[in-house]
């Protein structure tokens, strides 16, 4: 059975959008219209007063919006000689948004956009998907701290919007007899299909499993999904299974991938329940994702974890995921979202709406080294998850892919006569890492060395290769090329070192791929919010796909090792679940504040967390407020709280029209909120722009005392960004039993003698009462015309 609605909130979703040829139709209501084909899918936001009435069970059928279409389209647009051009409702939304998704022609969409009862018409688009050690790296222990304080989050439901789940013979999703019954407030269920026995899957650990495919199928022109896709919540891709077990998987002894990362695998919130909403089918249609949000909210989840998002940040009222998350947060659901995997470029971060908990990715203290040893004795440390027959100590011929048919090692283009029995050096680009190794194997090669993109700096990526392969950094690949050119008969071998855990190199380090700020939409909101483990994380895997994701790879494994902000997101979703149970009265904003203000910025060697793309110190545009520290977050001292009205005021400050606000379900009058500044949103971080026409900026905040000492007094310590004179008023905040909130303001003023040589400078403000330290990062952006020597 396929469903069309329901809720939760810890959103870890990274989806990349490709829209070919869009045009704007100038009407009373803003609308984006795709022109690449006459019939396409659209999401129609309807004014609440014109929406059909919900049933007594809070449900809404597609038939109701079918009537809406018939009433709002003239006969000549409603009727068509072609069934393909007849308007057709795909989904009805009542919780994550008010409206519906439908197949419409361009003229039908334009006509609806002009109707007074319609707020916006937005094209449906495809988005793409962006642990034995990570819980201990996070400091989680069953004997002390947040884990026992929250009882493992046994009363919390985490909704995972992704590719589904593979529960068959997976210890991570096994029923745990020590768990109490599932929370009665949760109203979801597991649907059943011929391929998915819902009654068996819903075992107390998994409490919900639903799927949404209508939007994806419509965007593919009605063509059937892939032959290997299961028309059920069953995960045939692996991504969703990995994420769900990372967030809340039960303990599993002796977990590993071919011996790599061996140990006890357990989710961050091992007692939490999992509700699965399968909305991604080799990409995620926005209409399916919004339907999953709708259903999760209706089901009553506590956290939504969605590792997906658009390729570039979109205006919030056009971003259906941001709209769905807004309405989830309105219901008290925490939404954790991935920052994106488009780093290290500037302003690549997505999911930047302030109601998201946006997560970057960083390393843990574990590596899988694979040394490349050249004939001249030079050794380059790479990385690999290869587990077959090793090459051995004897060195064999080494060739460059560009000299034997394909520099990027594309399948079918390498010359077997020149590759057989040799190691091939491959450039990055076009095809995936495991595909390069497979291409070398098909051509008879004995092994491969994969170079990385130059922008990735000191990071190479591990993969479960099917022949001996080591991935090395761009700089090391260039050195290997020089050796190849200098020697008439170059040789090499690869030595696999297994799993190495330790303090060198330091950890955490920011992953090169993790998307960076500043936000291209709202500079005043510093994103990402935090970073968490997202590099080489072991978790459960589907039995329907190989660990390499190659069709020619017949291996099947219960666990796999993956990297990405989509992997770090469920880590934070799990922590949010623990905090939700430990602090049930905290709002989503308070939970985010606790995680941000208690995050740390120093690695295990005592230095500031470094950036793998540069080898230098990272900035808040990479790491946000810092690396999450769950045990400190349970007692943050102060929190920066915010709710629906605060976010509406923020949208008013952005200049949103009444129609755009109504997309979020708000009927607020922005004229009554004049004087509000975007930078005054009560956010646990500060970001501002200074320049010749803006010499000073003041931002205001309110903090609430949640510590045990109701009479605490906090004193501010400031570290001013370069080129800035920073003042705080007042410098002390005194709380009492009747005064749990206090206001303060920070003014950032450009120093007259400022000679700034970079585009961004950074600082911090720390409030302390002697027991707690409440830290907020500060980012100042300087216009290019102000930057000296650039």
Catalytic positions: 162, 239, 566
- Tell me how far CA of residue 694 lies from CA of 281, 518, 781, 782, in angstroms: 47, 18, 11, 10
| Strand 396-400 with 686-689, pairing | unpaired
Cis, peptide link before residue 112, omega less than 30° from 0:
no
Contact 666, 643 (CB under 8 A): no
> Which residues on neighbouring strands pair with residue 238, listed in sequence order?
none
Q: Which contiguous run of DSSP H or E holds residue 216?
A: helix 214-219
How large is the angle between the packed helices 320-330 and 286-299, nearest 10 degrees?
10
Quick one: which of 568, 591, 565, 590 has its CA closest to 578? 591
C-alpha span between 606 and 136 (Å, rounded): 19
Residues found in the chain: 790
b/e sequence 294-306, b meaning 16+ C-beta within 10 Å? bbbbbbbbbbbbb
Coarse DSSP helix, strand, coil percentages of the chain, rounded to the nearest 5 percent: 25, 25, 50
Distance set, CA 189 to CA 3, 156, 208, 297 (Å): 11, 15, 4, 13
Strand 260-265 to strand 252-257: parallel, antiparallel, or no bridges (unpaired)? antiparallel
Q: What are phi and psi of 251, to 5 degrees?
A: -65, 140
What's the distance, Cα to Cα, between the start and end of the chain in Å? 59
Cα dist. 725→63, 620, 732 in Å? 61, 19, 19
**Strand-strand pairing, 334-338 and 303-306:** parallel
Query: Facing residues of 424 across strands?
Result: 399, 448
Cβ 648 vs Cβ 330: under 8 Å: no
Query: Residue 86's CB: how many other CB atoms inside 10 A?
Result: 17
Phi, psi values for residue 172, rounded to 5° = -60, -25
- Of 160, 278, 304, give the one whose Cα is nearest residue 216: 278
Give me 162's structure tokens.
């992704």
Taking a C-beta distance cutoff of 8 angstroms, is the pair 540, 166 a contact?
A: yes
| Separation CA 11–CA 327 (nearest Å) | 13
The DSSP bridge partners found for residue 406 are none
Query: In this structure, is the dihedral angle defined by the CA atoms of residues 105, 110, 115 and 117, taken in order, positive or negative?
Result: positive
Three-class SS of residue 398? strand
Residue 710 has a CB neighbour count (10 Å cut-off) of 13
Peptide bond into 264 cis (omega under 30): no
Phi and psi at 93, nearest 5°, equal: -115, 135
């Amino acid at each position: 059975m396929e469903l069309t609605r329901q809720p939760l909130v810890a959103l870890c979703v990274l989806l990349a959008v490709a829209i070919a040829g869009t045009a704007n139709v100038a009407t009373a209501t803003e609308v984006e219209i795709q022109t690449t084909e006459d019939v396409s899918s659209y999401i129609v936001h309807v004014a609440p007063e014109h929406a059909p009435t919900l049933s007594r069970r809070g449900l809404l059928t597609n038939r109701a919006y079918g009537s809406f279409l018939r009433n709002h389209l003239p006969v000549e647009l409603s009727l068509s000689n072609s069934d393909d051009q007849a308007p057709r409702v795909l989904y009805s939304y009542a919780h994550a948004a008010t409206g519906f998704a439908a197949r419409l022609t361009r003229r039908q969409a334009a006509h609806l956009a002009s109707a007074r009862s319609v707020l916006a018409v937005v094209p449906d688009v495809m988005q793409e998907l962006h642990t034995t050690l990570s819980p201990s790296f996070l400091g989680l222990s069953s004997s002390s701290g947040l884990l026992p304080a929250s009882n493992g989050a046994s009363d919390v439901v985490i909704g995972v919007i992704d590719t589904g789940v593979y529960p068959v013979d997976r210890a991570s999703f096994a029923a745990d007899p020590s768990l109490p019954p599932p929370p009665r407030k949760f109203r979801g269920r597991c649907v059943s299909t011929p391929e998915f026995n819902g009654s068996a899957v819903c075992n107390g650990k998994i409490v919900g499993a639903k799927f949404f495919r209508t939007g994806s199928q419509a965007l593919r022109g009605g063509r059937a999904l892939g032959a290997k896709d299961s028309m059920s919540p069953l995960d045939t891709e692996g991504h969703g299974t990995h994420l769900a077990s990372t967030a809340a998987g039960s303990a599993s002894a002796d977990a590993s991938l071919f011996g790599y990362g061996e140990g006890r695998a357990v989710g961050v919130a091992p007692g939490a329940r999992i509700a699965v909403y399968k909305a991604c089918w080799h990409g995620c249609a926005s209409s399916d994702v919004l339907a999953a949000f709708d259903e999760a909210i209706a089901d009553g989840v506590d956290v939504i974890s969605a590792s997906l998002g658009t390729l570039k940040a979109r205006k919030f009222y056009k971003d259906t995921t941001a709209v769905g998350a807004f309405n989830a947060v309105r219901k008290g659901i925490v939404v954790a979202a991935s920052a994106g995997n488009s780093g290290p470029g500037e302003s690549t971060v997505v999911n930047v709406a302030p109601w998201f908990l946006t997560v970057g990715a960083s390393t843990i203290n574990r590596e899988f080294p694979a040394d490349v040893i050249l004939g001249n004795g030079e050794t380059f440390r790479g990385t690999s998850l290869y587990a077959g027959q090793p090459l051995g100590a004897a060195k064999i011929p080494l060739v460059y892919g560009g000299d034997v048919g394909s520099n990027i090692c594309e399948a079918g283009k390498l010359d077997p006569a020149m590759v057989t029995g040799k190691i091939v050096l491959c450039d990055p680009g076009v095809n995936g890492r495991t595909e390069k190794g497979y291409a070398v194997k098909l051509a008879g090669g004995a092994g491969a060395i994969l170079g990385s993109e130059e922008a990735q700096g000191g990071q190479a990526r591990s993969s479960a290769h099917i022949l001996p392969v080591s991935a090395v950094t761009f700089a090391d690949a260039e050195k290997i090329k020089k050796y190849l050119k200098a020697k008439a008969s170059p040789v090499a071998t690869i030595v696999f070192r297994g799993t190495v855990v330790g303090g060198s190199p330091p950890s955490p380090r920011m992953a090169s791929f993790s998307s960076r700020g500043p936000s291209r939409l709202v500079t005043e909101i510093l994103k990402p919010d935090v970073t968490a483990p997202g590099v080489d994380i072991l978790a459960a895997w589907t039995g329907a796909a190989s660990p390499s994701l190659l069709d020619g790879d017949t291996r099947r494994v219960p666990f796999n090792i993956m990297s990405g902000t989509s992997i770090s997101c469920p880590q934070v979703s799990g922590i949010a679940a623990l905090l939700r149970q430990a602090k049930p009265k905290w709002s989503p904003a308070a939970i985010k504040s606790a995680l941000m203000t208690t995050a740390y910025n120093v690695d295990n060697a005592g230095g500031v967390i470094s950036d793998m793309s540069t080898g230098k110190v990272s900035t808040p545009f990479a790491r946000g407020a810092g690396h999450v520290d769950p045990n400190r977050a349970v007692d943050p001292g102060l929190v920066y709280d915010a709710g629906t009205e605060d976010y509406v005021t923020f949208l008013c400050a952005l200049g949103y029209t009444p129609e755009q606000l109504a997309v979020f379900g708000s009927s607020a009058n922005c004229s009554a909120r004049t004087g509000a500044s975007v930078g005054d949103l009560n956010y646990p971080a500060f970001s501002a722009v200074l320049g010749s026409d803006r010499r000073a900026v003041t931002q205001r905040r309110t903090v609430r005392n949640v510590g045990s000492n109701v009479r605490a007094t906090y004193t501010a310590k400031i570290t001013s960004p370069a080129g800035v004179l920073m003042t705080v008023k007042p410098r002390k905040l005194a709380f009492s039993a009747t005064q749990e909130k206090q206001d303060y303001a920070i003014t950032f003023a450009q120093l007259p003698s400022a000679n700034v040589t970079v585009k961004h400078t950074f600082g911090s403000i720390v409030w302390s009462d002697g027991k707690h330290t409440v830290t907020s990062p500060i980012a100042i952006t300087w216009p290019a015309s102000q930057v000296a020597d650039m």
